[in-house]
Amino acid sequence: MKRVILVTVCVLVALSLVYAGDFTYIGAKKCKMCHKGPKKGEVYEKWEKGSHAKAFETLKAKGEEKNPKCLECHVTGFNAGGYKVGDANAAKFEGVGCESCHGPGSEYKKMSIMKDLNKSKENGLIIPDEAVCKKCHNEKSPTFKGFDFAKYAKKIDHKYTKK
């Protein structure tokens, strides 16, 4: 009996680990559906006007739009289910989109989940911190001139708080 319980527990743990990795990228336009307009703090609009949204354009201007070393940070989900050079849907992942910082949105996008922060996190939502930013804003970047997290976090602040 103990062996059956042990095997069952192992199978359930393995399945939960497999499922935890099944989050997929959906693109910033899906996020826009719920995160736009004055009533929602113009979150999408703030992103769209910022430099992260235009990150892919900077590569094109330099002729680096196919350079994997650059694409890792200038597109969303590079070769991880998001941006892939030549894919028919590549354009929807150009730039540093919502999911670059907040994780693939396939499971946390549902309103019933988004209303609960813990459920959102369980379903893949990342609340970005300095470590998330430093995956790209670091010495490996040819344009790196230092990174002051507090200063730059204020520049891109797009928190929505209910009034």
CATH number of residue 64's parent domain = 1.10.1130.10
Q: Is residue 41 part of a domain?
A: yes
**Residue 14: which pLDDT band, with cuts at 50, 70 and 90?**
very low
For residue range 78-103, what is the model confidence (pLDDT) as tens digits?
999 999 999 999 999 999 999 999 99
Q: What is the pTM of this model?
A: 0.83
- φ, ψ of residue 52 to 5 degrees: the values are -60, -40
CA distances from residue 74 to 54, 55, 83, 97, 116 in whole angstroms, order as listed: 9, 5, 10, 9, 30
Q: Is residue 81 part of a domain?
A: yes
Contact, 69 vs 90, CB < 8 A? no
Domain containing 138 equals 22-155
Q: Is residue 5 part of a domain?
A: no
Q: Is residue 11 part of a domain?
A: no
Q: Is residue 15 part of a domain?
A: no
Q: Is residue 121 part of a domain?
A: yes
Q: Name the nearest CA neighbour of 83 among 160, 12, 19, 27.
A: 27
Q: Is residue 29 part of a domain?
A: yes
Split into its structural domains, the chain has a count of 1
Q: Highest mean pLDDT: which of 6-10, 18-22, 110-114?
A: 110-114
Q: Is residue 59 part of a domain?
A: yes
CA distances from residue 140 to 68, 73, 98, 116 in whole angstroms, order as listed: 13, 11, 22, 36
CA distance 151 to 137: 13
